[in-house]
Structure 1
Amino acid sequence: MIKKLGFGCMRLPLLNRDDQASVDRETFNRLVDTFLEKGFNYFDTALSYHGFKSEAFVREALVKRHRRDEFLLATKLPPRMLKDKEDHERIFSEQLEKCGVEFFDYYLLHNIGVSAYQLACRYDSFGFVQRKKQEGRIGKVGISFHDTPELLDEILTAHPELDFVQLQINYIDWENPGIQSRRCYEVARKHRMPIIVMEPCKGGNLAVVPAPAEELMKSYNPDASIPSWAIRFAASLEGVIMVLSGMGTMEQLLDNTSYMTDFKPLCAEEYRIIDQVTGIINADTAVPCTTCQYCVDKCPKNIPIPNYFALYNSSKRAVTDNISSQFVYYLNLASNHGRAGDCIGCRKCEEVCPQHIEISKLMKDVSETFDNGPGLPTK
C-alpha cells in the first residue's frame, strides 16, 4: 500500500535563497535517502520548477542513486508552453532525458485554468498523454488544477479517462472564495476522481500560526507540530490518495514521516480546533469582504472583486514570502476577467457594498500586489 505522503520538489533546499538553481545537493540527497528509508516513495516535480532545473536535480538525487522500482515519479507538462501539437513530443522526450527515466509513473497537464485548458484542447494535450499511456511511457494521467469548481466539473465531465486530479487543499482555503478548495474537492468526489493534494500548508504559511491558534493546538496535543495539523487535515479527506509536502530540512522530513508512517485521520475534537484556528487566522484580514457579490454585477470592467480580495487577504496573512499560489489563481481569473489594475474608479461597486468598503482604493493595493506577478503577461 502506498503511503499518503509525497515529496514535493518545488521548494528544494537552497544554498542561496535568491537563486533557485543553487539547490543544496548534499542535503537533497540525504532527504531523498531518508524519505525512502522511512517507507515513502512518491516524488513530484515539474518542468518549470527551480528555473526549469528541478527534473535534473531529481535525476541526480533520486534516479541515479536508487533503483527504478524503489520510487514513483511524477512530473508535469504546462500547456502554456505549447505553440503547436509537435511540441508535446519534444517536451516529453526532453523530460524523460532530464529525469533519466524511461517512463513516468504519474504525468500531469500543469496548472490547468481557463486559458491553459483552451490550449490543451486546441493542441489535443489530452489525446497526447493518453497515447503515451498506451505506449507504456506514462502510468497514470492527471491534471493539476487552479481555477473554479465549475471549470473543474466541465473538464472532468469531458475527460473521464483521467486517472486523478491534483488540487490545492488546506484548511484555510477550504472556504476561501478565491480558491474554493471545498467545492473543487466535492466536484472531484462527484466524478469519483482520486485526489492528490498540493499546498496542504499553503507554502509554509500554515506551519506558523498566530499565538492563540498555536495555543489551542498545543493544549490538545503538545507533541504534534503545527504543520502536522494541516497535512493531516488534507490526508483525512475521503478520496485523497496522496498529500504533497515540500521538505527542505531533515527536521521537516522527520516530523512529516513520523505521523504519516501510521497515519490516523483527524478526530471530531481536532476538526473543532481547526475550525477555531481558521477563525483566528481569518479574523486577521486586510479587507472585511463578505463575498456577497453585489459589487460584481455593477463592475463595468468585469473585475471579480470578492475573489481578488480573498487572494489579497491570503497574501497579507502570509507568514512567509511565498504567495505563489495566490498569483496562480489571480492569473487564471485575470485570463477571462478584468484585472485589479483595470479598475476605473467609477465607484459603482461601493454604492452597493453592504460593508462600505472603499473598493476602488483597495483595488490599487490589489493591483500592486498581483499585476506584476510572475507569469502574468503584460497587456
Structure 2
Amino acid sequence: MEYRTMKHGETPSLLGFGCMRFPTLADGSIDEEKAEALLDHAIENGVTYIDTAYPYHNRMSEPFVGKVLKKYNRDAYYLATKLPLWDVKTLDDVKEMFQKQLDRLDQSYVDFYLLHAMDKEKWELVKRLGIIPYLEQEQQAGRIRNLGFSFHDEYEVFEEILTARDWDFCQIQLNYMDVEHQQGIRGYYLAQERGVPIVIMEPNKDGALANLPADIESIFRAYDPDASMASWAFRWIASLSNVKVVLSGMTTMAQVVDNLSVFHAFKPLNHRESILVEEAAKAIRAKTKNGCTGCNYCMPCPFGVDIPKNFKIWNTYAMYENKEQAANGFQSLDRSNAFASVCKKCGACENKCPQHLPIRAHLEQVAMDRKTWGIDEQE
C-alpha cells in the first residue's frame, strides 16, 4: 500500500475507504456482516483512512463505523467525518453536533474533520456563526487533529474559501472527466500552490468510469486487457502528487480486492497511458447529444419542463450508457411532472438560449430516446 504525507506528518493510505456505499439489506439498512467484512479486509491489507459523515446511510454510518473500529488500536487508522452544516442554525447547534458525532463514533477525537459540502451559502453561514474559531478551539484541545472542508460549487467560491485561512486539507471531486467541473483541475493546482493536501472524492464519477461503454473500454483493453476500468481512473487521479488520499465507496469484496491491487504497488500513469486517458475522455465527451451547459437561461418553462435536467440525463446516458442512473434521474423528474414529454413546443426557451439550441426538437428526442432505452414514465 502506498502512503503519502499530510501537512502535519500523518501518513494515511493512498486508498481511503468511503463509508457511504456499504452493502444494504432489503429495508435499506446497512448489511453489517458484509460491510464489516469489507472494512476488515481493507484495513488488514493496509487501508488506514476511513471516511464517514453524519448523514450517510440514513445517519447510521457513523455508529456502525465506530463500532467496527473499536476492535482496532486507535493509532492503526485515521478517522474522518464531517459537520452537516444544513442541520445547524446556531453555534450551539455546532457544538452539540460535534459532541454527538464523537459519541456516535465512540471516539475521543477525530483525525480529519470537514465542513461538509461547502458552497457559497454554507460558507456565509460558517462566517456568520463563527464556526471556524470554535473548531480551532476544539483542534487546540486535541479533539480535532486536522481541520478541512469538502466542496461542491464553482471555482471562484473554492478560491475564496481556500484562501481564507491556512487549511490542513480539503476534499474535492475530481476525475479525468471532471477537470472543468466545480473547482476542477484549477482548484487542485491552487491547493497545491498553497500547500493544502488534497483528498479526492468521486474518482470514478459515481461508478460511471468503472463501467464504460464497450467502445470506450476497448481503448484501454487494447493497451492492457487485464486492467479494470476503475484502475485507470484511480491511477489518473493518484498520479497527481498533491493527492494524498483517494476515496472509494466500496460495496462489494470484488471492488475492495481490485482497488487494493491498484494501490499496493501503485504506478503513476506513464506518458502513453496519460494519452490513452485523454483519448478516452475525448471519445466520451463526443457522445454528448447537445451542448447544453446548464446555465438555466431557458428557465422557467411555462409548462414546468426542467429543460437543463432533461438534457443532463440525456447527455449523461449517451456518454456512459448507465440505464439505472438515467432511470433514477427521470423518476425524479416524473415526481415533479417536469419531464420532456410535457413540452408544448411554445418556443419561449429557444429565444433565451445562449447556445441557440433547437430545444423543442431535442426535448422531443429525449422523450423518444427514453422509450428506446426502455425507461417509460410509469417506472
Same fold (TM over 0.5): yes
| Structure 2 counterparts to residues 1-379 of structure 1, below 5 A | 1-16=11-26, 19-21=27-29, 23-62=30-69, 64-158=70-164, 160-176=165-181, 179-285=182-288, 287-289=289-291, 291=293, 313-314=315-316, 317=320, 319=322, 321=324, 346-347=348-349, 349-350=351-352, 352-358=354-360
Residues 112 and 217 of structure 1: CA distance in aligned 2, closer, same or farther (over 3 Å): same
- Which residue does the alignment assign to 2:373? none
Deviations 1:110-137, CA, capped at 9 Å, x for gaps:
0101211121112122222211111100
SS at match of 1:220: coil
- CA distance in 2 between partners of 1:76 and 1:221 (Å): 38
Residue 25 of structure 1 and its aligned partner are, at CA, apart by 1.2
Deviations 1:284-319, CA, capped at 9 Å, x for gaps:
32x4117597x85x9899xxx989956773366462
- Which residue does the alignment assign to 1:369? none
Residue 140 of structure 1 and its aligned partner are, at CA, apart by 0.5
- CA distance in 2 between partners of 1:234 and 1:103 (Å): 29
- CA distance in 1 between partners of 2:323 and 2:49 (Å): 26
Deviations 1:147-175, CA, capped at 9 Å, x for gaps:
001001011121x2211110001111123
- CA distance in 1 between partners of 2:168 and 2:138 (Å): 14
User: Which segment drifts farther, 275-284 or 226-235?
Assistant: 275-284
User: Which segment drifts farther, 270-279 or 183-192?
Assistant: 183-192
Asked which structure has the greater CA Rg, the reply is 2
- CA distance in 2 between partners of 1:308 and 1:268 (Å): 38
Residue 320 of structure 1 and its aligned partner are, at CA, apart by 6.5
Residue 190 of structure 1 and its aligned partner are, at CA, apart by 3.5
SS at match of 1:108: strand
* Partners of 2:119 and 2:152 within 8 A in 1: yes
Amino acid at match of 1:353: Q
Deviations 1:7-32, CA, capped at 9 Å, x for gaps:
0001011122xx442x1111122212
- CA distance in 1 between partners of 2:362 and 2:125 (Å): 33
Deviations 1:214-244, CA, capped at 9 Å, x for gaps:
1111111122111111111111113111000
* Partners of 2:292 and 2:311 within 8 A in 1: no
Residues 4 and 350 of structure 1: CA distance in aligned 2, closer, same or farther (over 3 Å): same
Residue 277 of structure 1 and its aligned partner are, at CA, apart by 1.4
- Which residue does the alignment assign to 1:329? none
User: Which segment drifts farther, 31-40 or 46-55?
Assistant: 31-40
Amino acid at match of 1:73: L
User: Which segment drifts farther, 215-224 or 40-49?
Assistant: 215-224
SS at match of 1:193: coil
* Partners of 1:195 and 1:240 within 8 A in 2: yes
* Partners of 1:5 and 1:242 within 8 A in 2: yes
Deviations 1:73-95, CA, capped at 9 Å, x for gaps:
00000211111110111101110
Give 5+ residue unaligned stretches, structure 1: 327-339, 366-379
* Partners of 2:23 and 2:31 within 8 A in 1: yes
**RMSD of the alignment, in Å?**
3.4
Residues 215 and 351 of structure 1: CA distance in aligned 2, closer, same or farther (over 3 Å): closer
- CA distance in 2 between partners of 1:272 and 1:126 (Å): 42
Residues 312 and 117 of structure 1: CA distance in aligned 2, closer, same or farther (over 3 Å): farther
Residues 300 and 54 of structure 1: CA distance in aligned 2, closer, same or farther (over 3 Å): closer
Amino acid at match of 2:51: D
Percent identity for Structure 1 against Structure 2: 38
- CA distance in 1 between partners of 2:358 and 2:350 (Å): 12
How many aligned residue pairs are there? 341
Residue 321 of structure 1 and its aligned partner are, at CA, apart by 3.9
- CA distance in 2 between partners of 1:106 and 1:351 (Å): 44
> What TM-score, normalized to structure 1?
0.80
